[in-house]
Structures are given as structure tokens and as C-alpha cells.
Amino acid sequence: MLESRSVSKSFFGKTVLKDVDLILEPGKIYALLGPNGSGKTTWMKLAASLLKPTSGEILYKEEPVGLASRKEIAYLPTDPFFYSWMTVQDVGRYYADFFEDFQPEAFEKLLSKMELPTNLKVRTLSSGMTAKLKIAATLARNAKVYLLDEPFNGIDLLARNQIMESIISSLNPEVTLVLSSHLVEEIESVIDTSIFMKDGLVAEVCNTEDLRTREGLSLTQKYRQIMQNRANLG
């Protein structure tokens, strides 16, 4: 469904993503795992068609990502990005204006679940509240692919559980979910496939269940193993 074919991206001669090949199928939850600067965000932005690849291509439904794919791919960036003059309610209106798959009722439900008042100005929100708003706006889309880049950044422990619940409840067998996070332990229980990234390369792709049953390793242990091995090799 979402396919990355030998995708590379360079900025001013510095390669941040090298020949990334991936095939992401519907009905699965993927985790992009790796340290800062490993290329997770760059790959997500390429898949969201915000960046243009230096070489290779990302296909959605066998077509290069772009205008058409933006209708079905919901991207949640790490950084705050809403217009500062907006209220929480304005954000919902904006999404409703631009995305046909946006469900205002779902947005309101998510806001109330996260205890986020609709009349607050975006510029007055704390980082945790902004993160919740981003999640609510993104998950209120009835998208086919969700790309969630560090969705738990700036969110406290209790709210994280709430958000994880919201993410899981918004899934169905047609949906592909790609999640990037530093909090490996917290997402381990929900992940089907883990994609380990290091220095712009895909280091390994693992089925999380197989990892537990065959190798007897947790996601955290595998993460340490891969990153340390590569560091030692480096």
C-alpha cells in the first residue's frame, strides 16, 4: 500500500536517508525506531509529500505520493505548526475545510476525552496541550494511513496512556499506522512490525511477536542490540 523504493534524501550534500526500501501494509502498526538524526522524521515527511526525495520514490496505491495521497495520508509532525491566531475550535474548522475525511464529532469527542477546552487560543497552550490538539486533529481524520512522528513528545505519563488508547481505537483493518517514538517500552505492546533506523539506513525490520517468541527479546533489548552493534561497528 505504502512503498518506499530506494529513497534517499540529501541536504546540502549531507545524506540523511540512504536507499530506504520498505513496504507497509494495511491493518498493521509499524514503529520507526532509532536515535535522533537516524532519518525517521525525514522518511515520514517524504511519505507525507512535504519533502521531495533526492532519489528513489515513495508510492501510495502505486502512485508517487503527492496531491492525491494527501487526501488519505494523515501526518502528525513533531513540532507545533498551527497558526497562532487560531483557537482549538478553529483548528477543527480548518481540518474540516481541507480534509474530506475529517470528522468534527470525532474531533470534539477526542478533545473532551483529553480535557482540552475548545475556546483556548493555540498560542496559549502548553506543549502538552498542543501535542494533544495535534493528536486530536490528526486522529479525527478517517485516513487510510497515519504517520505519527513522536506523538508523545511533551506529554505526561497519564495522558500518554489516554493518547495510546485513542490511537488504538481509531484503527481498523484498512488502516496503516506508522509511529515513531523514543519511548520504545511504552509502544512495544501495540507494535506489529519494528523498523530500526540508524544513520539514515534501515538497520533491521522485525516482527515484534517473532522477536519475543523466537529470539526471546523485548523491543528495548533488540533496540539496544542493534544500536550498540552498529555503534561498535562504526
Partner 1 sequence: MKQLLKYEFRKTRSVKIIVFLVAMIFEVLFLIGLPFKSLEKIGMLGMGGLVFTTVFGIFMIGIIGISNLYTDLNTKQGYMLFMTPRNGYQVIGAKVLENGLSLLLGGIFFGILGSIDLMLVAVRTGDFIKLLNQTLHSMGMVEISPLQIFWSIAVVLLFWLSVVTMAFFAVTLQAAILNGKRFGGLISIMIFIGMNILVSIVFSQINRLIPMGTNDYLNSSIWMIESTAVTVALYFLTGWIVEKKLSI
Rule CB under 8 A: say whether 45 interacts with partner 1: yes
Span 87-126, contacts to partner 1 by CB under 8 A: 94, 97-99
At 9, list the grid cell. Answer: 534524501
| Cα–Cα distance, 61 to 89 (Å, whole number) | 33
Largest CA distance in the chain: 53
Q: Which stretch binds partner 1 (CB under 8 A): 23-31, 74-82, 104-112, 163-171?
A: 74-82
Rule CB under 8 A: say whether 230 interacts with partner 1: no
Rule CB under 8 A: say whether 128 interacts with partner 1: no
Give me the least distance between CB of 74 and partner 1, in Å please: 9
Burial letters for 35-58: b for 16+ Cβ neighbours within 10 Å, e otherwise?
eeebbbbbbbbbbbbebebeebeb
Applying CB under 8 A, which of residues 23, 83, 127, 169 lies at the interface with partner 1?
A: 83
| Cα–Cα distance, 177 to 44 (Å, whole number) | 12
Using alpha carbons, list the distances in angstroms from residue 15 to 40, 57, 99, 125, 220: 13, 16, 33, 36, 27
- Backbone φ and ψ for 86, nearest 5 degrees, come out as -80, 150
Rule CB under 8 A: say whether 12 interacts with partner 1: yes
Applying CB under 8 A, which of residues 1, 20, 32, 51 lies at the interface with partner 1?
A: 51
| Cα–Cα distance, 209 to 189 (Å, whole number) | 9
Name the H helices within the chain: 40-47, 88-98, 104-113, 127-139, 157-169, 184-187, 208-210, 219-233
Give me the least distance between CB of 98 and partner 1, in Å please: 4
Rule CB under 8 A: say whether 14 interacts with partner 1: no
Give me the least distance between CB of 81 and partner 1, in Å please: 4
Rule CB under 8 A: say whether 146 interacts with partner 1: no
Rule CB under 8 A: say whether 215 interacts with partner 1: no
Rule CB under 8 A: say whether 64 interacts with partner 1: no
Q: Which stretch binds partner 1 (CB under 8 A): 63-71, 152-160, 194-202, 211-219?
A: 63-71
Name the H helices within 18-87: 40-47
Q: Can you give the binding site for partner 1, defined by CB under 8 A?
A: 11-12, 45, 48, 50-52, 67-68, 70-71, 75, 77, 79-83, 85, 94, 97-99
